């Protein structure tokens, strides 16, 4: 994402520079001493939108990869799907509180930073395969580990727990 962010920032910077140059040359254009290349002006208008939409596509693709990585790490697609659904439900509740009369508003897919939850859950279950060693995950011999009694200490410089 760093390269995509850098590309997006460069696009915005070049567009801003182009707009400043257009404003500087505007008096020459008004007195017909200079003609502006309309193709470049159109490119200055469209480039930031194209850059942002490409960045959103990359973000959605990376979310699918993150879901796949989480499934490989946890071996629990049902748990991941449940967590995704709970987050979606919480977001819908918050939107209903903020905008009670709107109901459910569908955001167009090309404006979303994350894929639709239904699509993410569908991909989780379609990528699910049987475990190679199910006995490892079903290991239960009645052994319980002791619970921690002390709270974690605060690190003084950064505020994070360690």
Residue 155 has a pLDDT of 56
Counting every residue written for the chain, the total comes to 162
Residue 84 has a pLDDT of 92
* Whole-number Cα distances in Å, 79 to 71, 83, 134: 9, 6, 17
- What are the residue ranges spanned by the domains of the chain? 2-128
Which helix (H) or strand (E) segment is 11 a member of?
Answer: helix 2-30
Residue 157 has a pLDDT of 58
pLDDT tens by residue, the chain, 162 residues: 678 788 888 888 888 888 888 888 888 888 887 777 878 888 888 888 888 888 888 888 999 999 989 988 888 888 899 999 999 899 888 888 888 887 776 777 777 888 899 999 998 888 776 545 555 555 455 555 565 566 655 555 555 555
Residue 106 has a pLDDT of 72
Residue 45 has a pLDDT of 83
Residue 111 has a pLDDT of 75
Residue 133 has a pLDDT of 52
Residue 124 has a pLDDT of 87
């Amino acid at each position: 994402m760093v390269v995509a962010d850098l590309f997006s920032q460069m696009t915005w910077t070049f567009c801003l520079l182009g707009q400043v140059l257009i404003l500087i040359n505007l008096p020459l254009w008004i007195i017909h001493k200079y003609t502006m290349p309309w193709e470049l002006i159109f490119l200055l208008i469209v480039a930031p939108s194209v850059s942002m939409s490409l960045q959103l596509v990359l973000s959605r693709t990376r979310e699918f990869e993150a879901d796949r990585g989480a499934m490989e790490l946890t071996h629990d697609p049902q748990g991941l799907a449940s967590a995704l659904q709970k987050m979606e439900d919480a977001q819908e509740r918050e939107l209903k509180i903020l905008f009670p009369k709107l109901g459910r508003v569908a955001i167009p897919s090309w404006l979303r930073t994350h894929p639709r939850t239904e699509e993410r859950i569908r991909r989780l279950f379609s990528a699910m395969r049987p475990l190679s060693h199910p006995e490892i995950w079903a290991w239960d011999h009645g052994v319980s580990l002791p619970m921690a009694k002390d709270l974690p200490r605060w690190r003084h410089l950064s505020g994070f727990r360690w």
